[in-house]
Protein backbone atom coordinates (compact mmCIF):
# COMPACT_ATOMS: atom_id res chain seq x y z
CA UNK A 1 0.00 0.00 0.00
CA UNK A 2 1.25 3.46 -0.91
CA UNK A 3 2.25 5.63 2.00
CA UNK A 4 1.38 8.75 0.02
CA UNK A 5 -2.03 10.13 1.01
CA UNK A 6 -4.68 10.97 -1.67
CA UNK A 7 -5.54 14.63 -2.31
CA UNK A 8 -8.68 14.41 -0.16
CA UNK A 9 -6.85 12.73 2.65
CA UNK A 10 -3.98 15.21 2.18
CA UNK A 11 -6.46 18.06 2.71
CA UNK A 12 -7.98 16.27 5.69
CA UNK A 13 -4.50 15.49 6.97
CA UNK A 14 -3.39 19.05 6.59
CA UNK A 15 -6.58 20.27 8.32
CA UNK A 16 -5.93 17.75 11.08
CA UNK A 17 -2.29 18.66 11.54
CA UNK A 18 -3.19 22.33 11.46
CA UNK A 19 -5.85 21.84 14.09
CA UNK A 20 -3.57 19.64 16.19
CA UNK A 21 -0.87 22.27 15.80
CA UNK A 22 -3.37 25.01 16.63
CA UNK A 23 -4.83 23.19 19.60
CA UNK A 24 -1.43 22.28 21.03
CA UNK A 25 -0.30 25.84 20.36
CA UNK A 26 -3.47 27.02 22.11
CA UNK A 27 -3.06 24.73 25.09
CA UNK A 28 0.61 25.65 25.39
CA UNK A 29 -0.37 29.32 25.25
CA UNK A 30 -3.14 28.80 27.82
CA UNK A 31 -0.80 26.86 30.10
CA UNK A 32 1.71 29.68 29.72
CA UNK A 33 -1.07 32.10 30.62
CA UNK A 34 -2.06 30.05 33.65
CA UNK A 35 1.47 29.86 34.96
CA UNK A 36 1.99 33.59 34.40
CA UNK A 37 -1.20 34.19 36.34
CA UNK A 38 0.03 31.86 39.07
CA UNK A 39 3.38 33.59 39.20
CA UNK A 40 1.78 37.03 39.37
CA UNK A 41 -0.46 35.89 42.19
CA UNK A 42 2.29 34.18 44.17
CA UNK A 43 4.63 37.14 43.85
CA UNK A 44 1.99 39.80 44.51
CA UNK A 45 2.43 39.37 48.26
CA UNK A 46 5.93 39.85 49.53
CA UNK A 47 5.55 36.88 51.91
CA UNK A 48 4.53 34.28 49.35
CA UNK A 49 6.96 35.70 46.83
CA UNK A 50 9.87 34.87 49.07
CA UNK A 51 8.54 31.30 49.55
CA UNK A 52 8.01 30.52 45.87
CA UNK A 53 10.56 29.21 43.41
CA UNK A 54 10.20 29.34 39.62
CA UNK A 55 12.04 27.76 36.74
CA UNK A 56 14.42 30.71 36.32
CA UNK A 57 15.75 30.37 39.90
CA UNK A 58 19.33 29.08 40.23
CA UNK A 59 18.20 26.31 42.63
CA UNK A 60 15.29 25.17 40.42
CA UNK A 61 16.93 21.89 39.39
CA UNK A 62 17.59 21.17 43.02
CA UNK A 63 14.09 21.85 44.36
CA UNK A 64 12.45 19.87 41.57
CA UNK A 65 14.84 16.94 41.58
CA UNK A 66 12.94 13.65 42.09
CA UNK A 67 14.09 10.61 44.06
CA UNK A 68 12.88 8.37 41.23
CA UNK A 69 15.20 9.54 38.47
CA UNK A 70 13.29 7.89 35.60
CA UNK A 71 10.82 10.78 35.96
CA UNK A 72 11.41 14.46 35.62
CA UNK A 73 8.19 16.45 36.04
CA UNK A 74 8.48 20.20 35.53
CA UNK A 75 6.22 21.99 38.03
CA UNK A 76 4.83 25.47 37.35
CA UNK A 77 6.25 26.59 40.71
CA UNK A 78 7.28 25.23 44.10
CA UNK A 79 6.07 26.97 47.25
CA UNK A 80 7.42 26.20 50.70
CA UNK A 81 4.91 27.71 53.15
CA UNK A 82 5.56 28.14 56.87
CA UNK A 83 2.01 28.55 58.11
CA UNK A 84 -1.45 27.27 57.32
CA UNK A 85 -2.43 30.74 56.10
CA UNK A 86 0.38 30.59 53.58
CA UNK A 87 -0.85 27.19 52.36
CA UNK A 88 -4.32 28.71 51.97
CA UNK A 89 -2.93 31.66 50.04
CA UNK A 90 -0.86 29.45 47.71
CA UNK A 91 -3.84 27.20 47.11
CA UNK A 92 -6.04 30.20 46.30
CA UNK A 93 -3.52 31.40 43.70
CA UNK A 94 -3.48 27.95 42.08
CA UNK A 95 -7.27 27.62 42.02
CA UNK A 96 -7.61 31.12 40.58
CA UNK A 97 -5.07 30.37 37.85
CA UNK A 98 -6.57 26.96 37.11
CA UNK A 99 -3.32 25.20 38.06
CA UNK A 100 -3.40 21.82 39.77
CA UNK A 101 -1.72 21.27 43.11
CA UNK A 102 0.50 18.56 44.51
CA UNK A 103 1.69 18.27 48.11
CA UNK A 104 5.33 17.27 48.47
CA UNK A 105 6.50 15.48 51.61
CA UNK A 106 9.57 13.20 51.51
CA UNK A 107 9.73 13.20 47.70
CA UNK A 108 10.32 9.42 47.67
CA UNK A 109 7.38 8.48 45.47
CA UNK A 110 8.44 5.87 42.90
CA UNK A 111 6.61 7.93 40.24
CA UNK A 112 7.80 11.37 41.44
CA UNK A 113 4.15 12.06 42.27
CA UNK A 114 5.04 14.52 45.04
CA UNK A 115 6.34 16.81 42.27
CA UNK A 116 3.05 16.45 40.48
CA UNK A 117 3.93 13.41 38.39
CA UNK A 118 3.22 15.37 35.21
CA UNK A 119 4.30 18.88 34.20
CA UNK A 120 2.67 22.10 35.27
CA UNK A 121 1.56 21.61 38.89
CA UNK A 122 1.98 23.97 41.78
CA UNK A 123 4.01 21.94 44.26
CA UNK A 124 3.38 22.78 47.91
CA UNK A 125 6.47 21.57 49.71
CA UNK A 126 5.41 20.74 53.27
CA UNK A 127 8.93 20.51 54.70
CA UNK A 128 8.27 23.20 57.34
CA UNK A 129 5.30 21.31 58.79
CA UNK A 130 7.19 19.02 61.12
CA UNK A 131 5.78 19.85 64.54
CA UNK A 132 5.41 16.85 66.86
CA UNK A 133 3.23 16.46 69.96
CA UNK A 134 2.49 13.46 72.15
CA UNK A 135 -0.52 12.97 74.39
CA UNK A 136 0.52 10.68 77.23
CA UNK A 137 -3.07 10.07 78.31
CA UNK A 138 -4.15 8.58 74.98
CA UNK A 139 -0.78 7.50 73.61
CA UNK A 140 -1.56 9.47 70.45
CA UNK A 141 1.29 11.06 68.50
CA UNK A 142 0.63 13.97 66.14
CA UNK A 143 3.14 15.07 63.52
CA UNK A 144 3.10 17.67 60.76
CA UNK A 145 2.28 16.72 57.17
CA UNK A 146 5.88 17.41 56.10
CA UNK A 147 7.52 15.07 58.62
CA UNK A 148 9.93 12.36 57.58
CA UNK A 149 10.08 8.89 59.11
CA UNK A 150 13.46 9.13 60.89
CA UNK A 151 13.20 12.45 62.74
CA UNK A 152 9.61 11.79 63.89
CA UNK A 153 10.27 8.21 65.06
CA UNK A 154 13.45 9.37 66.82
CA UNK A 155 11.66 12.24 68.58
CA UNK A 156 8.95 9.90 69.84
CA UNK A 157 11.45 7.31 71.03
CA UNK A 158 13.86 9.70 72.68
CA UNK A 159 11.19 11.72 74.43
CA UNK A 160 8.54 9.13 75.21
CA UNK A 161 10.08 5.68 74.69
CA UNK A 162 7.36 4.77 72.17
CA UNK A 163 7.14 3.46 68.63
CA UNK A 164 4.65 3.59 65.77
CA UNK A 165 4.79 1.37 62.67
CA UNK A 166 6.70 3.02 59.84
CA UNK A 167 8.40 2.12 56.57
CA UNK A 168 12.02 0.98 56.40
CA UNK A 169 13.78 4.15 55.21
CA UNK A 170 14.64 7.19 57.30
CA UNK A 171 14.04 9.99 54.77
CA UNK A 172 10.74 8.79 53.32
CA UNK A 173 7.84 11.16 54.05
CA UNK A 174 5.43 10.13 56.79
CA UNK A 175 2.38 11.61 55.04
CA UNK A 176 3.29 10.07 51.71
CA UNK A 177 4.01 6.62 53.13
CA UNK A 178 1.09 6.53 55.59
CA UNK A 179 -1.55 7.49 53.03
CA UNK A 180 -0.18 4.77 50.73
CA UNK A 181 -0.40 1.98 53.31
CA UNK A 182 3.16 1.58 54.50
CA UNK A 183 4.65 -1.68 55.57
CA UNK A 184 7.38 -2.02 58.15
CA UNK A 185 8.99 -4.62 60.37
CA UNK A 186 6.35 -4.24 63.11
CA UNK A 187 3.36 -4.19 60.73
CA UNK A 188 2.43 -7.86 61.14
CA UNK A 189 1.51 -7.34 64.77
CA UNK A 190 0.91 -3.58 65.04
CA UNK A 191 -0.59 -2.95 61.61
CA UNK A 192 0.57 -0.60 58.89
CA UNK A 193 1.12 3.13 59.40
CA UNK A 194 -2.28 3.56 57.70
CA UNK A 195 -4.00 1.14 60.10
CA UNK A 196 -2.74 3.18 62.99
CA UNK A 197 -4.00 6.57 61.85
CA UNK A 198 -6.43 7.96 64.36
CA UNK A 199 -7.22 11.20 62.51
CA UNK A 200 -5.82 13.66 59.99
CA UNK A 201 -6.21 17.38 59.38
CA UNK A 202 -6.70 18.21 55.72
CA UNK A 203 -6.91 21.48 53.83
CA UNK A 204 -9.42 21.22 50.99
CA UNK A 205 -9.17 23.08 47.66
CA UNK A 206 -11.07 26.10 49.04
CA UNK A 207 -8.81 26.53 52.09
CA UNK A 208 -11.22 24.89 54.55
CA UNK A 209 -9.44 22.83 57.19
CA UNK A 210 -11.22 19.60 58.09
CA UNK A 211 -10.44 16.95 60.69
CA UNK A 212 -11.17 13.47 59.44
CA UNK A 213 -11.35 10.24 61.39
CA UNK A 214 -13.56 7.16 61.54
CA UNK A 215 -16.26 9.25 63.23
CA UNK A 216 -15.65 12.77 61.91
CA UNK A 217 -15.89 13.32 58.15
CA UNK A 218 -15.52 9.58 57.58
CA UNK A 219 -15.70 9.87 53.78
CA UNK A 220 -12.61 12.05 53.73
CA UNK A 221 -10.83 9.69 56.14
CA UNK A 222 -11.80 6.80 53.88
CA UNK A 223 -10.14 8.29 50.79
CA UNK A 224 -7.12 9.67 52.63
CA UNK A 225 -6.27 6.04 53.38
CA UNK A 226 -5.02 5.09 49.95
CA UNK A 227 -5.40 8.18 47.80
CA UNK A 228 -4.93 11.23 50.03
CA UNK A 229 -3.08 13.33 47.46
CA UNK A 230 -6.21 13.45 45.27
CA UNK A 231 -8.32 15.18 47.92
CA UNK A 232 -6.33 17.85 49.71
CA UNK A 233 -3.23 18.84 51.62
CA UNK A 234 -2.67 16.80 54.77
CA UNK A 235 -1.54 19.27 57.41
CA UNK A 236 -1.09 16.85 60.29
CA UNK A 237 -1.57 13.17 61.10
CA UNK A 238 -2.30 11.56 64.46
CA UNK A 239 -1.25 7.97 65.01
CA UNK A 240 -1.54 5.39 67.77
CA UNK A 241 1.74 4.43 69.42
CA UNK A 242 3.13 1.42 71.25
CA UNK A 243 5.60 0.81 74.02
CA UNK A 244 7.79 -2.26 73.36
CA UNK A 245 6.78 -5.16 75.52
CA UNK A 246 10.30 -6.62 75.44
CA UNK A 247 13.34 -4.38 75.38
CA UNK A 248 15.29 -6.93 73.30
CA UNK A 249 14.56 -7.71 69.65
CA UNK A 250 15.96 -10.78 67.86
CA UNK A 251 17.28 -10.52 64.31
CA UNK A 252 17.93 -13.61 62.20
CA UNK A 253 19.08 -14.59 58.72
CA UNK A 254 18.34 -17.79 56.83
CA UNK A 255 20.21 -19.03 53.76
CA UNK A 256 19.35 -22.22 51.92
CA UNK A 257 22.67 -22.23 50.05
CA UNK A 258 22.98 -22.98 46.33
CA UNK A 259 19.87 -25.14 45.99
CA UNK A 260 18.09 -25.80 42.69
CA UNK A 261 14.84 -24.14 41.65
CA UNK A 262 12.48 -26.86 42.85
CA UNK A 263 14.19 -27.13 46.23
CA UNK A 264 14.12 -23.37 46.68
CA UNK A 265 10.46 -23.16 45.73
CA UNK A 266 9.54 -26.05 48.02
CA UNK A 267 11.34 -24.31 50.88
CA UNK A 268 9.27 -21.20 50.24
CA UNK A 269 6.12 -23.32 50.35
CA UNK A 270 7.28 -24.76 53.69
CA UNK A 271 8.00 -21.29 55.04
CA UNK A 272 4.55 -20.16 53.91
CA UNK A 273 2.90 -23.12 55.56
CA UNK A 274 4.77 -22.47 58.81
CA UNK A 275 3.99 -18.75 58.63
CA UNK A 276 0.29 -19.39 58.18
CA UNK A 277 -0.04 -22.01 60.89
CA UNK A 278 2.64 -21.47 63.52
CA UNK A 279 4.29 -18.06 63.27
CA UNK A 280 3.17 -15.54 65.86
CA UNK A 281 2.28 -12.08 64.55
CA UNK A 282 5.43 -10.75 66.23
CA UNK A 283 7.60 -12.64 63.71
CA UNK A 284 8.67 -10.51 60.70
CA UNK A 285 10.26 -12.01 57.60
CA UNK A 286 11.55 -10.63 54.31
CA UNK A 287 12.39 -13.45 51.88
CA UNK A 288 14.58 -12.37 48.98
CA UNK A 289 13.45 -12.62 45.40
CA UNK A 290 16.51 -11.14 43.70
CA UNK A 291 18.95 -12.57 46.23
CA UNK A 292 17.41 -16.04 45.84
CA UNK A 293 16.90 -18.51 48.64
CA UNK A 294 17.67 -16.39 51.63
CA UNK A 295 15.90 -14.02 53.94
CA UNK A 296 16.04 -12.20 57.22
CA UNK A 297 13.71 -10.93 59.85
CA UNK A 298 12.92 -9.83 63.37
CA UNK A 299 11.16 -11.27 66.36
CA UNK A 300 9.42 -8.86 68.73
CA UNK A 301 7.96 -11.45 71.11
CA UNK A 302 9.59 -12.87 74.23
CA UNK A 303 13.30 -13.41 73.34
CA UNK A 304 13.24 -16.58 75.46
CA UNK A 305 10.74 -18.16 73.07
CA UNK A 306 12.78 -17.52 69.97
CA UNK A 307 15.01 -20.60 69.77
CA UNK A 308 12.16 -23.11 69.92
CA UNK A 309 10.08 -21.08 67.52
CA UNK A 310 12.91 -20.64 65.03
CA UNK A 311 13.81 -24.33 65.20
CA UNK A 312 10.24 -25.25 64.28
CA UNK A 313 10.76 -23.23 61.08
CA UNK A 314 14.32 -24.21 60.15
CA UNK A 315 13.61 -27.92 60.75
CA UNK A 316 11.39 -27.77 57.67
CA UNK A 317 14.16 -26.35 55.46
CA UNK A 318 16.81 -28.22 53.40
CA UNK A 319 19.85 -29.65 55.20
CA UNK A 320 22.06 -27.08 53.43
CA UNK A 321 20.38 -24.26 55.38
CA UNK A 322 22.51 -21.98 57.54
CA UNK A 323 21.25 -19.36 59.95
CA UNK A 324 22.51 -16.51 62.09
CA UNK A 325 20.82 -15.02 65.16
CA UNK A 326 21.64 -11.95 67.19
CA UNK A 327 19.84 -9.67 69.60
CA UNK A 328 19.90 -5.95 70.26
CA UNK A 329 17.83 -3.48 72.20
CA UNK A 330 14.73 -2.16 70.48
CA UNK A 331 16.14 1.17 69.34
CA UNK A 332 19.43 -0.28 68.08
CA UNK A 333 17.41 -2.78 66.06
CA UNK A 334 15.20 -0.01 64.71
CA UNK A 335 18.34 1.68 63.41
CA UNK A 336 19.48 -1.57 61.84
CA UNK A 337 16.15 -2.34 60.13
CA UNK A 338 15.85 1.25 58.84
CA UNK A 339 19.51 2.29 58.57
CA UNK A 340 20.35 5.51 60.40
CA UNK A 341 16.77 6.05 61.47
CA UNK A 342 18.16 8.57 63.94
CA UNK A 343 20.44 10.17 61.32
CA UNK A 344 20.17 13.54 59.67
CA UNK A 345 20.39 12.61 55.98
CA UNK A 346 18.88 10.14 53.54
CA UNK A 347 20.50 6.69 53.57
CA UNK A 348 18.97 5.72 50.21
CA UNK A 349 20.19 7.94 47.39
CA UNK A 350 17.93 8.64 44.37
CA UNK A 351 17.88 6.06 41.62
CA UNK A 352 16.46 5.25 38.22
CA UNK A 353 14.25 2.23 38.60
CA UNK A 354 11.04 0.46 37.71
CA UNK A 355 9.12 -1.72 40.12
CA UNK A 356 6.13 -4.00 39.91
CA UNK A 357 4.41 -5.26 43.03
CA UNK A 358 1.55 -7.59 43.79
CA UNK A 359 0.00 -8.88 46.98
CA UNK A 360 -1.30 -12.38 47.61
CA UNK A 361 -4.04 -12.93 50.15
CA UNK A 362 -4.23 -15.63 52.79
CA UNK A 363 -7.01 -17.51 50.97
CA UNK A 364 -4.97 -17.51 47.73
CA UNK A 365 -1.32 -17.69 48.77
CA UNK A 366 1.58 -19.05 46.69
CA UNK A 367 1.13 -22.38 45.03
CA UNK A 368 4.24 -24.33 44.06
CA UNK A 369 3.49 -23.40 40.43
CA UNK A 370 3.08 -19.67 41.02
CA UNK A 371 6.21 -19.46 43.20
CA UNK A 372 8.13 -21.40 40.57
CA UNK A 373 6.93 -19.13 37.75
CA UNK A 374 7.99 -16.12 39.81
CA UNK A 375 11.55 -17.25 40.60
CA UNK A 376 12.20 -18.93 37.27
CA UNK A 377 11.29 -15.98 35.06
CA UNK A 378 12.36 -13.04 37.19
CA UNK A 379 15.52 -13.49 39.21
CA UNK A 380 16.85 -16.71 37.65
CA UNK A 381 16.26 -15.56 34.08
CA UNK A 382 17.53 -12.00 34.64
CA UNK A 383 20.40 -11.32 32.29
CA UNK A 384 21.31 -7.66 31.91
CA UNK A 385 24.40 -5.60 32.53
CA UNK A 386 22.71 -2.20 32.21
CA UNK A 387 20.18 -3.05 34.95
CA UNK A 388 20.56 -4.68 38.33
CA UNK A 389 17.82 -6.77 39.87
CA UNK A 390 16.13 -6.25 43.22
CA UNK A 391 13.09 -7.82 44.82
CA UNK A 392 11.65 -9.49 47.89
CA UNK A 393 8.60 -11.12 49.42
CA UNK A 394 7.50 -9.43 52.65
CA UNK A 395 5.53 -11.78 54.86
CA UNK A 396 2.33 -9.88 55.64
CA UNK A 397 -0.57 -11.69 57.31
CA UNK A 398 -0.83 -11.01 61.03
CA UNK A 399 -3.34 -8.32 61.95
CA UNK A 400 -4.29 -7.72 58.31
CA UNK A 401 -6.78 -10.52 59.05
CA UNK A 402 -8.89 -7.83 60.77
CA UNK A 403 -8.79 -5.35 57.87
CA UNK A 404 -12.00 -4.92 55.89
CA UNK A 405 -11.68 -3.88 52.25
CA UNK A 406 -14.52 -1.39 52.45
CA UNK A 407 -13.24 0.38 55.57
CA UNK A 408 -10.68 2.48 53.65
CA UNK A 409 -9.91 3.27 50.01
CA UNK A 410 -6.94 0.91 49.63
CA UNK A 411 -8.02 -2.72 49.62
CA UNK A 412 -5.68 -4.92 51.66
CA UNK A 413 -7.76 -7.29 53.72
CA UNK A 414 -5.93 -10.53 54.66
CA UNK A 415 -2.83 -9.72 52.63
CA UNK A 416 -0.37 -12.56 53.09
CA UNK A 417 2.60 -11.63 50.89
CA UNK A 418 3.85 -8.39 49.40
CA UNK A 419 5.80 -9.32 46.27
CA UNK A 420 8.15 -6.78 44.69
CA UNK A 421 10.23 -7.14 41.53
CA UNK A 422 12.43 -4.24 40.43
CA UNK A 423 15.07 -3.28 37.88
CA UNK A 424 17.56 -0.54 38.72
CA UNK A 425 19.81 1.30 36.33
CA UNK A 426 23.35 -0.04 36.81
CA UNK A 427 25.89 2.15 38.56
CA UNK A 428 27.65 4.58 36.28
CA UNK A 429 24.81 4.75 33.71
CA UNK A 430 22.45 7.70 33.38
CA UNK A 431 20.01 6.68 30.63
CA UNK A 432 17.17 4.27 31.41
CA UNK A 433 17.24 1.65 28.60
CA UNK A 434 14.49 1.93 25.97
CA UNK A 435 13.49 -1.70 26.49
CA UNK A 436 13.89 -1.62 30.28
CA UNK A 437 10.19 -1.54 31.18
CA UNK A 438 9.21 -4.26 28.74
CA UNK A 439 12.12 -6.42 29.86
CA UNK A 440 11.12 -6.22 33.52
CA UNK A 441 7.45 -6.79 32.66
CA UNK A 442 8.26 -9.84 30.55
CA UNK A 443 10.00 -11.42 33.54
CA UNK A 444 7.03 -10.80 35.84
CA UNK A 445 4.35 -11.82 33.31
CA UNK A 446 4.55 -15.63 33.70
CA UNK A 447 3.86 -15.23 37.43
CA UNK A 448 0.82 -13.08 36.67
CA UNK A 449 -0.36 -15.55 34.04
CA UNK A 450 -0.07 -18.39 36.53
CA UNK A 451 -2.09 -16.38 39.08
CA UNK A 452 -4.78 -15.75 36.45
CA UNK A 453 -4.84 -19.45 35.66
CA UNK A 454 -5.43 -20.13 39.35
CA UNK A 455 -8.23 -17.55 39.45
CA UNK A 456 -6.24 -15.18 41.65
CA UNK A 457 -7.06 -11.52 40.95
CA UNK A 458 -4.04 -9.23 40.54
CA UNK A 459 -3.86 -6.90 43.52
CA UNK A 460 -1.37 -4.12 44.18
CA UNK A 461 -0.03 -1.93 46.94
CA UNK A 462 -0.31 1.86 46.75
CA UNK A 463 3.18 2.66 48.04
CA UNK A 464 4.68 0.24 45.51
CA UNK A 465 2.45 1.30 42.65
CA UNK A 466 3.35 0.18 39.17
CA UNK A 467 3.59 3.48 37.29
CA UNK A 468 3.07 1.82 33.91
CA UNK A 469 -0.44 0.45 34.50
CA UNK A 470 -3.57 1.74 32.73
CA UNK A 471 -6.42 3.31 34.70
CA UNK A 472 -8.43 0.10 34.36
CA UNK A 473 -5.55 -1.86 35.83
CA UNK A 474 -4.42 0.35 38.72
CA UNK A 475 -7.94 1.29 39.83
CA UNK A 476 -8.93 -2.35 40.29
CA UNK A 477 -5.63 -3.54 41.74
CA UNK A 478 -5.35 -0.78 44.33
CA UNK A 479 -8.94 0.11 45.14
CA UNK A 480 -11.16 -2.74 43.92
CA UNK A 481 -14.84 -2.04 44.48
CA UNK A 482 -14.08 1.16 46.38
CA UNK A 483 -13.18 3.04 43.21
CA UNK A 484 -16.67 4.24 42.32
CA UNK A 485 -17.22 5.58 45.83
CA UNK A 486 -13.83 7.30 45.68
CA UNK A 487 -14.84 9.03 42.44
CA UNK A 488 -18.08 10.27 44.02
CA UNK A 489 -16.18 11.62 47.03
CA UNK A 490 -13.76 13.27 44.62
CA UNK A 491 -16.60 15.15 42.94
CA UNK A 492 -17.85 16.35 46.34
CA UNK A 493 -14.57 17.33 47.94
CA UNK A 494 -12.46 18.41 45.00
CA UNK A 495 -15.02 19.57 42.42
CA UNK A 496 -12.50 21.51 40.32
CA UNK A 497 -10.05 18.62 40.21
CA UNK A 498 -7.42 20.83 41.86
CA UNK A 499 -5.63 17.79 43.32
CA UNK A 500 -5.69 15.75 40.12
CA UNK A 501 -2.05 15.86 39.15
CA UNK A 502 -0.36 12.51 38.53
CA UNK A 503 -1.39 9.65 36.27
CA UNK A 504 -2.97 7.68 39.12
CA UNK A 505 -4.93 10.55 40.69
CA UNK A 506 -8.56 9.69 41.36
CA UNK A 507 -10.89 11.08 38.68
CA UNK A 508 -14.30 12.61 39.43
CA UNK A 509 -17.38 10.51 38.92
C1 LIG B 1 14.19 4.19 49.81
C2 LIG B 1 12.72 3.90 49.93
C3 LIG B 1 12.29 2.98 50.88
C4 LIG B 1 10.93 2.70 51.01
N5 LIG B 1 10.52 1.78 51.95
C6 LIG B 1 9.21 1.47 52.05
C7 LIG B 1 8.77 0.51 53.00
O8 LIG B 1 9.56 -0.08 53.74
N9 LIG B 1 7.44 0.26 53.08
C10 LIG B 1 6.52 0.94 52.32
O11 LIG B 1 5.33 0.71 52.45
N12 LIG B 1 6.92 1.86 51.41
C13 LIG B 1 8.24 2.13 51.26
N14 LIG B 1 8.65 3.03 50.33
C15 LIG B 1 7.65 3.66 49.44
C16 LIG B 1 7.17 4.99 50.03
O17 LIG B 1 6.41 4.72 51.19
C18 LIG B 1 6.30 5.70 48.98
O19 LIG B 1 7.09 5.95 47.84
C20 LIG B 1 5.73 7.01 49.51
O21 LIG B 1 4.74 7.46 48.63
C22 LIG B 1 6.78 8.07 49.64
O23 LIG B 1 6.25 9.16 50.33
P24 LIG B 1 7.03 10.56 50.33
O25 LIG B 1 6.28 11.50 51.18
O26 LIG B 1 8.46 10.34 50.62
O27 LIG B 1 6.95 10.99 48.79
P28 LIG B 1 6.25 12.21 48.08
O29 LIG B 1 6.67 12.08 46.65
O30 LIG B 1 6.55 13.50 48.74
O31 LIG B 1 4.70 11.92 48.23
C32 LIG B 1 4.12 10.73 47.77
C33 LIG B 1 2.63 11.00 47.45
O34 LIG B 1 1.97 11.45 48.63
C35 LIG B 1 1.41 12.75 48.42
N36 LIG B 1 1.61 13.55 49.63
C37 LIG B 1 2.77 13.73 50.31
N38 LIG B 1 2.56 14.56 51.35
C39 LIG B 1 1.26 14.89 51.32
C40 LIG B 1 0.46 15.74 52.12
N41 LIG B 1 0.97 16.38 53.18
N42 LIG B 1 -0.84 15.89 51.80
C43 LIG B 1 -1.38 15.24 50.72
N44 LIG B 1 -0.65 14.42 49.93
C45 LIG B 1 0.64 14.27 50.23
C46 LIG B 1 2.19 13.32 47.26
O47 LIG B 1 1.45 14.34 46.59
C48 LIG B 1 2.44 12.10 46.42
O49 LIG B 1 1.31 11.81 45.63
C50 LIG B 1 9.99 3.35 50.18
C51 LIG B 1 10.43 4.27 49.23
C52 LIG B 1 11.78 4.54 49.09
C53 LIG B 1 12.23 5.49 48.03
Q: Mark which of 302, 337, 372 sits at the end of a domain.
A: 337
Last residue of one domain, picked from the residues 337, 370, 392? 337
Residues 360 and 467 grouped into a single domain: yes
- Using a 6 Å cutoff on CB, does residue 79 contact ligand 1? no
Band (pLDDT 50/70/90 cuts) for residue 2 is very low
DSSP letters for 307-324: HHHHHHHHTTS-TT-EEE
pLDDT tens, residue by residue, 338-354: 999 999 999 999 999 99
CATH number of the domain to which 145 belongs = 3.30.465.10
pLDDT at position 46: 74
> What is the count of structural domains for the chain?
4
Is residue 25 domain-shared with residue 107, that is, in the same domain? yes
Across 150-293, the runs of DSSP E, i.e. the strands, are 197-203, 209-213, 233-240, 248-255, 283-288
pLDDT (0 to 100) of residue 45:
79
Residues 348-398: tens digit of each pLDDT:
999 999 999 999 999 999 999 999 999 999 999 999 999 999 999 999 999
Under the banding of pLDDT at 50, 70 and 90, the label for residue 155 is very high
pLDDT digits (tens, 9 = 90+) for 231-264: 999 999 999 999 999 999 999 999 999 999 999 9
Instruction: Return the pLDDT at 63.
Output: 96
In sequence order, the 6+-apart residues with CB closer than 8 A to the CB of 387 are 423, 424, 425, 426, 433, 436, 439, 440
Domain that holds residue 315: 248-337
Checking if the pLDDT of 289 tops 50, the result is yes
> Do the domain assignments include residue 502?
no
How large is the average pLDDT for residues 451-471? 98
- 476 and 357 part of one domain: yes
CA quadruple 94, 95, 99, 103: dihedral, nearest 10: 60
Q: Is residue 506 part of a domain?
A: no
More confident residue, 319 or 14: 319
CA atoms within 13 A on the CB side of 247: 2
Judge whether residue 18 has pLDDT over 80: no
**328 shares a domain with 366:** no
Contact yes or no for 418/182 (Cβ under 8 A) = no
> What's the pLDDT band for 29 if we cut at 50, 70, 90?
low
92 domain residue, yes or no: yes
409 lines ligand 1 (CB under 6 A): no
CA 105 to ligand 1 centroid distance, Å: 7
Strand partners, 351: 68
Q: Are residues 84 and 156 in the same domain?
A: no
Q: pLDDT tier at 427 (50, 70, 90 boundaries)?
A: very high
Average confidence (pLDDT) over 134-153:
98
Residues 464 and 388 in one domain: yes
In the predicted structure, residue 17 carries a pLDDT above the cut 50: no
Does the CB atom of residue 106 touch ligand 1 within 6 A?
yes
pLDDT in tens, 41-73: 999 877 778 899 999 999 999 999 999 999 999
| CB of 189 closer than 8 Å to CB of 398 | yes
| 498 domain-assigned | no
Residues 6+ apart with CB under 8 A from 474: 460, 465, 466, 504
| Residues 382 and 458 reside in one and the same domain | yes
Three-class SS of residue 112? coil
Is pLDDT at 12 greater than 80 in this prediction?
no
Choose one of 175, 192, 203, 285 to mutate for the ligand 1 pocket test, by most ligand atoms within 8 angstroms of C-beta: 175
Is the four-CA dihedral 237, 243, 246, 247 of positive or negative sign? positive
27 in a structural domain: yes
Task: Compute the mean pLDDT over every residue in the chain, rounded to the nearest whole number.
Answer: 94
**Within a domain: 170:** yes
CATH code, 392: 3.40.462.20
Q: Do 377 and 473 sit in the same domain of this protein?
A: yes
Q: How far apart are CA 196 and CA 179, in angstroms?
A: 11
CATH code: domain of residue 86 = 3.30.43.10
Mean pLDDT of 484-507: 98
Q: Answer whether residue 7 shows pLDDT above 50.
A: no
Whether the CB of 183 sits within 6 Å of ligand 1: yes
**362 and 473 share a domain?**
yes
Which residue's CA is the nearest one to ligand 1's atom 36? Answer: 176
- Domain shared by 480 and 368, yes or no: yes
State whether the beta carbon of 463 lies less than 6 angstroms from ligand 1.
yes
Of 243, 278, 309, at which residue does a domain stop? 243
On whether both 174 and 279 belong to a single domain, the answer is no
Is 491 a member of any domain?
Answer: no
Which residue's alpha carbon is at the smallest distance from atom 20 of ligand 1? 177
Residues 423 and 327 in one domain: no
pLDDT above 90 coverage of the chain, percent: 91
Position 292 scores a pLDDT of: 84
Three-state DSSP class for residue 136: coil
Task: State the virtual CA torsion across 153, 154, 155, 160 in degrees, nearest 10.
Answer: 90
Choose which residue among 63, 91, 114, 298 to substitute to test ligand 1 binding: the one with the highest number of ligand atoms within 8 A of its C-beta.
114
**In a domain? residue 500:** no
Q: Could you tell me the CA-to-CA distances from 230 to 109, 225, 465, 489 in Å, in that order?
A: 14, 11, 15, 10
Amino acid sequence: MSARPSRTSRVAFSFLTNSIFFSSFLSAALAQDDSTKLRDCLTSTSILGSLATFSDAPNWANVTSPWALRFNPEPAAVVTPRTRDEVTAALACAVDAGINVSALNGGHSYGAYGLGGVDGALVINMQRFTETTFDAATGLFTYGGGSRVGPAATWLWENHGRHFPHVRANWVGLSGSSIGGGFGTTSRFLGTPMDNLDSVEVMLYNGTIVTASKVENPDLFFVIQGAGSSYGIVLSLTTRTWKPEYSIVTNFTISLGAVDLDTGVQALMDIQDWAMTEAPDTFALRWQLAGEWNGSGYFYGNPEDFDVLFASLTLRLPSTTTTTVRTADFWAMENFAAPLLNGTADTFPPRSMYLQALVLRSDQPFTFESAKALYQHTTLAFNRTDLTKFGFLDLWGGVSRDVKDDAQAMVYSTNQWLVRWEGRLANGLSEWPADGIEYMQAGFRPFQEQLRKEGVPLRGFVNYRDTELTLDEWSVRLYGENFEKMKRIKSDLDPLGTFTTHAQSIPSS
